[in-house]
Copies of this chain bind each other. A is one copy, B any other.
């Protein structure tokens, strides 16, 4: 089945994506140069390993994680790679501008560490897109990538300069930001979808071994993600150990509890590959300071329970009341565990301050609540902005709404990748 777009649009969409790429090349030409400073062999090796782990998580883990939609496996993997490759380039440029890491000739200095930092920032797009995958065309995905990366970099800069947070701490709010960005965009899209379709969407979400493969890669490399941006050796050691314990417990919890949450008491694969990652998300903001395994394990247990509980309860609240159609379970994989992570951070900071008998406890609590709120608000606002932009006539191309009305979204020929 060929695309029902008119010929002009079908040429226009790919050319638009290509234009962005050419613009990026020009920006790199005028504004960047490689770091040629002295280099330590161990750092080169470490950065290469970290960069590879992050690439595996982004291209393979998140690509296959969302490949469980029945008719959408190929497109999901290919568009995921497209957004990763585009997002990394934009994030490298933005981080250079915002961090003002200029050379003497006024150019942005591209270091080895730039790439994995940029790839981690670009992963917010890959997470968000889980909520509206299959409803956006190539042009809309390009716009989403550019807007979301810009918004996330802005939020991170605010964290670093206003709240004095380091690279690691500001990055760890990515899950909350991305989840609420994605949900807001999905909410904007849902207005165009007729009501009767929702039941059909749910049942079509059949998961496969490929989705499990993606989840396993995320699970195995999450300790790298949580420790990638930490400077101190002790912080990295703690981050690896805590993340591992939290993930192990949330995997056990996910598989045990999944059977309880379903009427027939059978284990649901979708539950598992959402909930087994919840531990890694939940331990994010605090993984470098938690000093005992049991605390990370309790976070993993809570995150697993919250995630499975969310699967059970949220579709009713969110999907029916707010009319958000959360394609890949974004809210309970990244959103709720991300909130848990933020709340843990608030409590741990308050606990540490309370030991010093300092009168600052109220101030610390307010600051931390402000950080979490900023991440959420940033996600919601930029998501709303993106949703509105994507609904502009020019982005939807001609008559795109027509196709949303008479076809289930995963059957859109202009999205599908040819067999």
**Quick check: B418 and A264 within 8 Å, CB to CB?**
yes
With contacts A3-B265, A77-B209, A266-B3 taken as known, whether A293 is within 8 angstroms of B60 at the C-beta atoms is no
* Cα(A267)–Cα(B293), bound, Å: 48
Q: Interface digits, A42-81 against B, CB 8 Å rule (1 contact, 0 not)?
A: 1011101101110110011001100100000111011101
**Quick check: A241 and B112 within 8 Å, CB to CB?**
yes
**What is the interface residue range for chain A against chain B?**
35 or more
* Cα(A248)–Cα(B20), bound, Å: 13
> 21 interchain pairs (CB within 8 A)?
A2-B265, A2-B266, A5-B265, A14-B256, A14-B265, A24-B297, A25-B298, A32-B292, A32-B294, A34-B291, A36-B291, A44-B237, A48-B223, A48-B240, A52-B220, A75-B267, A78-B212, A82-B251, A82-B256, A85-B247, A112-B241
**Quick check: A259 and B216 within 8 Å, CB to CB?**
no
* Cα(A61)–Cα(B269), bound, Å: 19
**Quick check: A233 and B44 within 8 Å, CB to CB?**
yes
**Quick check: B259 and A292 within 8 Å, CB to CB?**
no
Give chain B residues whose Cβ lies under 8 Å from the Cβ of A210. 209
Q: A residues engaging B (CB < 8 A)?
A: 2-3, 5, 7, 10-11, 13-15, 17-18, 21-22, 24-26, 28-29, 32-36, 39-42, 44-46, 48-49, 51-53, 55-56, 59-60, 63-64, 67, 73-75, 77-79, 81-82, 85-86, 88-89, 110, 112, 115, 138, 206, 209-210, 212-213, 216-217, 219-221, 223-224, 227, 233-234, 236-238, 240-241, 244-245, 247-249, 251-253, 255-260, 262-269, 272, 276, 291-294, 297-298, 301, 413-414, 416-419
Give chain B residues whose Cβ lies under 8 Å from the Cβ of A55. 220
**Quick check: B46 and A252 within 8 Å, CB to CB?**
no
**Quick check: A11 and B265 within 8 Å, CB to CB?**
yes
**Quick check: A294 and B209 within 8 Å, CB to CB?**
no
Give chain B residues whose Cβ lies under 8 Å from the Cβ of A413. 264, 266
**Contact partner, A36, options B17, B33, B234, Cβ 8 Å:** B234
**Quick check: A39 and B234 within 8 Å, CB to CB?**
yes
**Contact partner, A44, options B41, B78, B236, B257, Cβ 8 Å:** B236
With contacts A28-B297, A74-B209 taken as known, whether A256 is within 8 angstroms of B21 at the C-beta atoms is yes
Q: Which of A40, A212, A272, A297 has the most CB of B within 10 A?
A: A212
**Contact partner, A264, options B3, B49, B258, B268, Cβ 8 Å:** B3
- List 8 tightest A-B contacts by C-beta distance, closest first: A10-B265, A2-B264, A17-B256, A29-B294, A85-B248, A266-B418, A28-B294, A85-B251
